[in-house]
Amino acid sequence: MDPAEEQHLAWLARSFGRTDYLPLTVADLDALSGAGAYVDKYPGTHLFKEGADSVAAYVIRRGDVELFRERKAGRFVVGRVGSGAVIGDISMLRAQPYMSSARALTPVKAFRIDRSRLLPILIDHPMIAIRWLVAGLNQLEATQRRVLRLMRGTVKEQVAEMVLDESDRYGELHLSQASLAGLLGASRQSVNQALSELRDEGAVTTGYRVIALGDRKALSHAAGR
């Protein structure tokens, strides 16, 4: 097995739940790898569209993807995901149309897993099925956290909570203020005001499409923790 193939299989293993939980065998990974192929998407192009037949799921290798729904009142952002995220799988496994659209925000490389090729593999490789379940539960937990965040009293608390929960290992949340407002279901003006207050308190710093964690204690206090 060449180094590129080893790296690909290791990445697949990490993408489906904890690597220390029911480790996938080489045979499992080979089978999963054979269920799909890589696709590249340019910014603004879709991985899938709301209402379309859910023929595949996608594991994001690199790049950022926005999940949204179109309504008469406009576009409603329901999530933003990056490297390691699995999207479209719930609809795919239920054989239901995609519940939202997925659009590349940056150049995206994703592993596209076809439903027709995956289902026999899940039957023959129970560890893959269990690990996929773990990954799905992680997504569900993240969705529950987002719902709880939307129930908080103020936009400032919601913004602080999101930065604490979803910033990367460098303490950065790569979102435009417009995208952040869409995720929180708040106006852009109220999000701008919240960020201004958090900056004044030293809790965050902001730049172009990025919010960086500053004083964690101050940010936790703003979030009501």
Q: What is the DSSP letter of 57?
A: E
* Torsions phi, psi for 49 (to 5 deg): -120, 145
Task: Specify the pLDDT at position 117.
Answer: 92
- Burial class for 103, CB neighbours closer than 10 Å (0-12, 13-18, 19+): buried
pLDDT of 100 reads: 92
**What residues have CB less than 8 Å from 65, skipping those under 6 apart?**
47, 80, 81, 82, 85, 87, 102, 103, 104, 105, 108, 110
Domains of the chain in sequence order: 3-149 (2.60.120.10), 152-222 (1.10.10.10)
Q: Tell me the pLDDT tens digit for each residue of 189-204.
A: 998 999 999 999 999 9
Q: Average pLDDT in the 65-78 region? A: 81
Least confident of 34-43, 88-97, 119-128, 130-139: 130-139
